[in-house]
């Protein structure tokens, strides 16, 4: 198990939450240190180096064919990133704990266990990415933005220096993949949200919550969407790229 709890407003939140209590045997997966590389030309949360991430998962004890379970306390907003990255490295046996840590009925522990190194190895990717240069108009994709509608429409932008969205995108906030209890909607309801799109590419602010929409499509039984990892935070680095509101 990987504990993926995080807060974009507080980089130390996940570590504190893990120390206060986590599922027995879980290992900490830090959004910034493990699940992304340093901010820069690729946006706020660029993909980690594949070899570095593979080494990280081995150090955390992941074996080649083991079932990987990832969780957070945010409806899967951060756990979905870890799930997607595992598939990016070719690990099919990966799942998000539906409902997160609050759905766990067993005890929590404060002890930080040190696992034996695992046998995980990178395989052929099970998912697909789209780079920013593939999205210059005209392009054949339907962009799906996972951010809240107020950010999508440029009404409120609390994180990035430019507000709005990539022209041609449609808004499907990741939070609406969940019911009021924080569990994923039934597959039929998710199919209604996403089945109309051909050649979908998911994005968000920095490529994190976009994975939630990819997961929702998989849960709905739809073909796996591609992901634009750099997302909005990379798109706006070039002032010549168009912006819509």
Catalytically annotated residues: 204
For 74, residues 6+ apart whose C-beta sits below 8 A from its C-beta are 5, 6, 100
For 142, residues 6+ apart whose C-beta sits below 8 A from its C-beta are 168, 170, 197, 198, 199, 200, 201
The strand pairing partners of 226, in sequence order, are 201
Residues 201, 130 contacting (CB under 8 angstroms): yes
CA of 83: how far to CAs of 56, 125, 131, 212, in Å?
14, 13, 20, 9
C-alpha to C-alpha distance for 139 and 143, rounded to whole angstroms: 10
């Amino acid at each position: 198990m990987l504990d993926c709890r995080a807060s974009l407003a507080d980089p130390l939140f996940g570590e504190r939450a893990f120390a206060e209590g986590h599922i027995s045997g879980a290992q900490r997966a830090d959004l910034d240190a493990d699940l992304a590389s340093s901010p820069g030309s690729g946006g706020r949360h660029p993909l980690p180096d594949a070899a570095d991430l593979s080494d990280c998962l081995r150090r955390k004890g992941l074996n080649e064919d083991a079932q990987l379970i990832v969780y957070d306390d945010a409806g899967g907003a951060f756990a979905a990133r870890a799930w997607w990255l595992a598939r990016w490295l070719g690990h099919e046996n990966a799942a998000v704990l539906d409902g997160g840590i609050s759905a766990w009925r067993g005890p929590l522990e404060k002890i930080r266990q040190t696992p034996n190194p695992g046998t995980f190895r990178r395989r052929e990717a099970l998912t697909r990415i789209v780079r920013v240069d593939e999205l210059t108009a005209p392009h054949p994709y339907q962009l799906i933005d996972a951010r809240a509608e107020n950010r999508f429409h440029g009404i409120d932008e609390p994180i990035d220096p430019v507000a709005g969205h990539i022209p041609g995108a449609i808004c499907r906030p990741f939070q609406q993949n969940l019911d009021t209890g924080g569990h994923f909607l039934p597959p039929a309801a998710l199919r209604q949200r996403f089945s109309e799109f051909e050649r979908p590419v998911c994005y968000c602010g920095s490529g994190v919550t976009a994975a939630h929409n990819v997961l929702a499509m998989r849960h709905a039984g739809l073909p796996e969407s591609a992901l634009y990892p750099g997302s909005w935070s990379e798109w706006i680095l070039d002032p010549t790229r168009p912006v819509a509101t």
